[in-house]
Chain A
Amino acid sequence: MSSIIEIAQAIQDSSIGVAIAESTVVFPVIETVHLLGLALSVGLLLIVDLRLLGLVLPKVPVATVHHQLRRWIFTGFTFTFVSGALLFWAEAGQVIVNYAFIAHGIFILLGIANAAFFEIRLVPGAADWKESLPGAARFAGAASLSAWFLVLVSGRLIPYLA
């Protein structure tokens, strides 16, 4: 454990880490990219999740909703992950021992695992889904909704549970 903390501290102390942390322009701009990427990814994913639960666009097939939003969700996640990695670079030594950050990481992994299961196992058959969706699809929607909500909450709490 202590070696992980040392590595994180070395990342934070690197020239790029220090440059990001000390800039009053770069740091908030990266935070803004993180926030807007989040809206694109988690926000539009919310529409897919709510469709899986039958709460929005009930008459539009899941495959139609998913197919049209998918690339924007992935684009958003790319922005969020890259900006998140840069924020980590600047604060690695502090956040690695922060409970909110640890929870943030765990919920992200759960969200990704659920998304991978949905994309690989369920999406190929989605075109055949009739009005009532398979239980696995509804479960994946609820799991995604919960995981990303907790990612959002734990992420925002990082500065407060230092």
Chain B
Amino acid sequence: MNFYETLQNSAVGHLISESNHLVGAAFQVVHIVGIVLLLTAVLLVALRLLGLGLREQSLQEVEKLARPFLWLGLAATVISGSLFFISTAVIYATKEALQIKIVLLVLAVLLQFGLVRRLVAHPASKAVARGAALASLTLWLGVGLAGRAIGFT
């Protein structure tokens, strides 16, 4: 058995795949609520970096406001997403859209935590701030598109 088969046949994998389909639906609800929380944080920071939202608050204030939403959203999406994956690992492992999504997600999270934190500590030029915001929004758009594509490929 390969790694994905082992995962799918694990106790957790069986528990999910053999449960009522409403359990899967509940995980989907957790996943989308997490997405909204996560993207709320991303949008707050990106709009502030672009000078288009919450301009009357400092970048530090906006980043502090966004932080709990980012963590809660990440926890909810990653946990629910991992549970979908475990229950159907063999099929999911072959999905290119999922692989693309994971790569874009990792890049987007690294950018969010790395570059944004850096910009908060060491304010840079407007052009750098805008570039960082646009890169972040583009990456998250890619995560969304790739995520939606999983079921269609």
**Which residues of A come within 8 Å of B, CB atoms?**
24, 27-29, 31-32, 35-36, 38-40, 42-44, 46-47, 56-57, 60, 64-65, 68-69, 72, 149, 152-153, 156-157, 160-161
Contacts and interface: CB of A to CB of B under 8 A. Distances in A.
Nearest to A27: B152
B29 A157 contact: yes
Given A47-B40, A47-B65, A68-B55, A24 B152 contact: yes
Q: Is the interface of B mostly helix, strand, loop or mixed?
A: helix
A43 B148 contact: no
A156 B145 contact: no
Interface stretch (B5-13, B20-28, B82-90): B20-28
Contacts of B47: 72
Nearest to B140: A36
19 contacts: A27-B152, A28-B152, A32-B144, A36-B141, A36-B144, A38-B36, A39-B35, A39-B40, A40-B39, A42-B36, A44-B43, A46-B40, A60-B56, A60-B57, A65-B54, A69-B54, A72-B47, A157-B25, A160-B22
Contacts of B52: 72
B65 A57 contact: yes
Contacts, number: 86
Contact of A160 (B21, B65, B149): B21
B46 to A, nearest CB: 11
B33 interface: yes
Nearest to A153: B29
B143 to A, nearest CB: 10
